[in-house]
Amino acid sequence: MSIQRTQGYPVLIIGAGRGGSALLEMFLEDSLVKVVAIADTNPDAPGMLLAKKHGIPTFTVAAEALQICKDYPDCIVYNLSHDDSIAEEAFRVFGDRRVASGPEVKLFWQMVTNLKQIKGDLEKSQNQLRSIIHNAMDGIITINESGEIQAFNPAAEEIFGYSQHEAIGMNLSMLMPEPDQSAHGVHLDRYLQTGQSRILGVRGREVMAVRKSGEEFPMELSVSEMVLGGHRYFIGILRDITERKRAEKKIAHLAHYDYLTDLPNRAMLLDVLNHSIALAKRNKNKAAVLFLDLDGFKGINDTLGHDAGDLLLKGVSARLKKTIRDSDTVARVGGDEFIVVLDSIGTDENAVQVANKIIAVLSKAFDLKGQACHVGASIGISLFPEDSDNPVKLVKRADEAMYLAKQSGKSTYRFYRDVVQKRQDK
């Protein structure tokens, strides 16, 4: 008699109903077991059909199956049928070799069923988790203790431009700009040795990252730690916040700049004027505020429309910026009102020269979509430290001087001291 050797422990299953089929399914997935045959009086039993599908010998007579099994050393027989004579036949074939049957097989079948249920539930949970990670809008990256990428979901692929195949196995530092790239390994080693971390447990920490193209971008990052199979892993959930940062920057810009001309607004102007006053104090110098109101703007706006009026305001803004020094500031503070802050003027005459330049440059015609239009400028001037050391008061007093300029014939300038003198003359 030839002795057959198998890759896996030889097993014979008698009874191919639900229990036998479940047992066969489990053994098919286990490399430690080799099912040499299965037997059942019903050739269409579930276990028989499954065995045929996988090329396992099937028998409708249990005694014949036992004869096949005896060619294998240490073959185990699982009797899931209700035929008690199987044990007697097995004793005749194998001698004192024991057959698993009766209550122990029932218990074993229940254990197998429970295990399959647990396995099914676990696979379902794993599939759900994979689906969540795969379809998550945020990037999810897992690294090991060496900093090597172990998982890289589709959102991370889209964010960084690397495919999963390119990323897995690479060091996470490739996604970082300098100096973070060079310091990453040091930080990771320090945490593994001391437990000190700057990012673990911190939600939504803003960092800079690098795409495959080399483009740097802002990212929001949350990192947690996981121990699996005795090994540490770090899971990063990340979000590209480029658009959010752009929106925040735009909102911040709109809070300090005029939406039409992109000149500083009143809030920004007061900050600038505070700085100019501080600079003038330090250098023991003067600063000037020129409050400018356009002459004739209302007529153009009313006759040609608001679009033409907006175009005119943009043109005025462009000319004002070209007229003053880079160190000076021009702001739009109202409909057709502008303020110029002159830093560190030596004498009052310097303010006069700038006022005359502005009046001259604005007196030239503006082309508003083929229509030539003319405006003038009435300008009021206040000085630091003569008129005040308070930014709000300096603006107010320059405004008062501007009204005096309008009353004096327009397209001219007046100092705040002229306003004071006029009051004294009354």
Residue numbers of the chain with a pLDDT score lower than 50: 1-6
Domain boundaries, the chain: 9-115, 136-241, 257-425
pLDDT (0 to 100) of residue 203: 78
CA-nearest of 291, 282, 274 to 389 is 274
Give dist(CA 235, CA 221) in Å, integer. Answer: 10
* Helix/strand/coil for 139: strand
DSSP letter at 337 equals E
pLDDT number for residue 98: 58
Which of 3.30.70.100, 3.40.50.9100, 3.30.750.24, 3.30.70.270 is the CATH number of 257-425? 3.30.70.270
- The whole-chain average pLDDT of the chain stands at 87
Q: Are 376 and 298 in contact (CB under 8 A)?
A: no
Q: What angle do CA 368, 356, 290 make, to 5 degrees?
A: 90
Say if residues 331 and 269 touch (Cβ distance below 8 Å).
Answer: yes
Neighbours of 106 (CB within 10 A): 12
> 264 forms bridges with which residues in the sheet?
257
The answer to whether 395 touches 339, Cβ cutoff 8 Å, is yes
Helix (H, G, I), strand (E, B), or coil: what is residue 220? Answer: strand
- pLDDT for 26: 81
pTM score > 0.85 for this model?
no
Burial bucket for residue 168 (CB in 10 Å: 0-12, 13-18, 19+):
middle
Is the CB of residue 366 less than 8 Å from the CB of residue 356?
A: no
Task: List the alpha helices (DSSP H) in 284-408.
Answer: 297-304, 306-323, 348-363, 391-407
Domains 9-115 and 136-241 share a fold: no
Nearest to 181 by CA among 190, 172, 189: 172
Supply the pLDDT for residue 3. 38
H/E run at residue 379: strand 376-384
Q: Write out the two tokens for 142.
A: 């897992």
Domain 136-241 fold is: Beta-Lactamase (3.30.450)
pLDDT at 322: 95
In this structure, which CATH number among 2.40.160.60, 3.40.50.720, 3.40.640.10, 3.40.190.10 belongs to the domain 9-115? 3.40.50.720
Query: Could you tell me which of 284, 315, 286 has the C-alpha nearest to residue 381?
Result: 286
pLDDT of residue 2: 41
